[in-house]
């Protein structure tokens, strides 16, 4: 459904020097730097898949989405959405896809939400039954009627965002691109938006491509994860596969009697190769161990043998930690602050 092949986007950025003198200088010189926002991204998202496209700020996510939606031309490489090259066939692609750019509105700023929907209905030539079915769904999940006749410019971010998500799905698009769709929503509305996306995906087989910094969005909507870093895809697979890719796991324990925490930490680090331990509270210690060299059983056995445990947990590797490791891998190859 969504295919990217060696997609590259470079921007020319005029070089500006800092300060007033520098600004004056830029009046006379027109030097520019070339910034590579996306460098050779390739991936394939099958129809009906809900994929999360994630990466740190500046990883080139939005730029990629803009090429996939036909807003920008790639510098090189190509991509197709539902068989069309979006930037070459913009209008036909636009009829096939729905898009939410979290920071921009596709609604008519001076009109009530209901009017924007009526306009979109005519622009997309949406058949009556489809329009009625979708409006009923949005009413059920998002309570759109509550937005009344307030012009969009006067809505709160949360009110506007749910209308944006609904608007992007109104014409039953084959694929929907959601760029930060739950920004500014409270917990209940976040749930509602996720439910809407999941329901549309289940009923109509809509392909979903989501970019978000909200881990909740990713885990509750997506069955696939694409991680981009420094402009290239570094991981594609299921959420579980990504979690299993964690190269360190942790065991947290609390103990009584025995050595003081400093000695305990020294003991653990000396006897278990590659392990780092740190104190979280007075007698509560977090042990990070490399999954390649030790198993959870070995670590637990060691702890049971040397400490009088009062509590012990082995938390699941959370997506956030895994992602943080991936994001910082190249910038800071050794230690990862947690």
Partner 1 sequence: MTTPTALRRYAPFASASLQSMLQYRSTLLIGAVTATTAVGLQVFLWRAVYAGRSDGLPGGYDLPELTTYVLLAQLLALSQANRVDEEVAGEVQRGDIATSLLRPVNYPLARFAAGLPVSLVNATLVGLPVLLLYAFLLPLAAPTWTGLLLFLPSAALSLVIGFGVNLLVGLAGFVTTNIWGVRIVKDSVVAFFAGQVVPIALMPGPLAAVAHVMPFQGLVDGPLRLLLGHYTGPAQAAGILIVQAAWAAALAAAAALAWRKAVRRVEVLGG
Question: What Cα–Cα distance (Å) separates residue 96 from each residue in 70, 163, 263?
Answer: 11, 19, 63
Indicate whether 78 belongs to the interface with partner 1 (CB under 8 A): no
For residues 26 to 65, the per-residue mask of contacts with partner 1, x marking binding by CB under 8 A and - elsewhere, is: ------------------------------------x---
Rounded Cα gap, residues 322 and 303, in angstroms: 25
Q: Which has the closest alpha carbon to 212: 111, 338, 335, 61?
A: 61
Assess 124 for contact with partner 1 (CB under 8 A).
yes
The residue within the footprint of partner 1, chosen from 8, 11, 276, 290 (CB under 8 A), is 11
104 counts as binding partner 1 under rule CB under 8 A: yes
Contact between 256 and partner 1 by CB under 8 A: the answer reads no
- The residue within the footprint of partner 1, chosen from 5, 85, 115, 191 (CB under 8 A), is 115
Does the CA dihedral 139-192-240-61 come out positive or negative? positive
CA distance 303 to 222: 37
Distance (Å, rounded) from C-alpha 137 to C-alpha 125?
19
Using CB under 8 A as the binding criterion, the count of chain residues that bind partner 1 stands at 34
What's 76's DSSP letter?
E
The string of DSSP codes covering 80-134 is: EETTB-TTTSHHHHHHHEEEEETTS--S-TTSBHHHHHHHHHHHTT--HHHHHHH
Closer residue to partner 1 (CB): 76 or 109: 109
Closest approach of partner 1 to the CB of residue 124, in Å: 7
CB of 106 to partner 1, least distance (A): 5
- Closest by CA to 248, choosing from 137, 330, 172, 324, is 324
CA distances from 189 to 34, 116, 154, 162, 184 (A): 41, 21, 19, 8, 9
Binding window for partner 1 (CB under 8 A); candidates: 17-25, 92-100, 199-207, 212-220: 92-100
Interface mask toward partner 1 for 129-158; x: CB under 8 A: ----------------------x-------
Q: Which of 82, 99, 197, 285 binds partner 1 (CB under 8 A)?
A: 99
Judged by CB under 8 A, the stretch of 123-131, 199-207, 236-244, 317-325 that binds partner 1 is 123-131
Judged by CB under 8 A, the residue of 5, 36, 44, 71 near partner 1 is 71
Instruction: Give the footprint of partner 1 on this chain (CB under 8 A).
Output: 11, 62, 66, 69-73, 90-92, 94-95, 97, 99, 101-106, 108-111, 115, 118-119, 122-125, 151, 179
């Amino acid at each position: 459904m969504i295919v990217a092949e060696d997609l590259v986007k470079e921007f020319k950025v005029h070089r500006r020097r800092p300060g007033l003198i520098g600004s004056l200088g830029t009046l006379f010189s027109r030097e520019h730097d070339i910034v590579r926002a996306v460098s050779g991204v390739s991936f394939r998202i099958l129809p009906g898949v809900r994929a999360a496209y994630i990466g740190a700020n500046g990883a080139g996510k939005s730029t990629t989405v803009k090429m996939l939606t036909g807003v920008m031309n790639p510098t090189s490489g190509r991509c197709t959405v539902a068989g069309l090259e979006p930037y070459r066939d913009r209008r036909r692609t636009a009829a096939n896809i729905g898009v939410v750019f979290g920071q921009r509105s596709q609604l008519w700023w001076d009109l009530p939400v209901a009017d924007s929907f009526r306009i979109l209905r005519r622009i997309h030539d949406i058949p009556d039954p489809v329009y009625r079915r979708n409006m009923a769904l949005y009413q059920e999940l998002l309570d759109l009627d509550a937005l009344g006749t307030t012009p969009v410019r006067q809505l709160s971010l949360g009110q506007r965002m749910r209308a944006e998500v609904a608007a992007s799905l109104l014409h039953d698009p084959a694929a929907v691109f959601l760029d930060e769709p739950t920004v500014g929503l409270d917990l209940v509305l976040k749930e509602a938006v996720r439910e809407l996306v999941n329901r549309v995906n289940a009923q109509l087989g809509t392909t979903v491509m989501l970019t978000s910094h909200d881990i909740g969005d990713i885990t509750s909507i997506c069955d696939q994860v694409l991680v981009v870093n420094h402009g290239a895809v570094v991981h594609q697979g299921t959420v579980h596969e990504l979690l299993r890719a964690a190269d360190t796991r942790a065991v947290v324990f609390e103990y009584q009697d025995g050595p003081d925490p400093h000695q305990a930490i020294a003991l653990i680090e000396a006897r278990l190769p590659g392990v780092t331990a740190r104190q979280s509270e007075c007698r509560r210690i977090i042990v990070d161990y490399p999954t390649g060299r030790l198993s959870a059983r070995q670590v637990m056995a060691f702890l049971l043998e040397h400490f009088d445990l009062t509590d012990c947990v082995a938390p699941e590797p959370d997506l956030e930690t895994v992602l943080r490791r991936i994001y910082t891998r190249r910038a800071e190859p050794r230690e990862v602050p947690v």
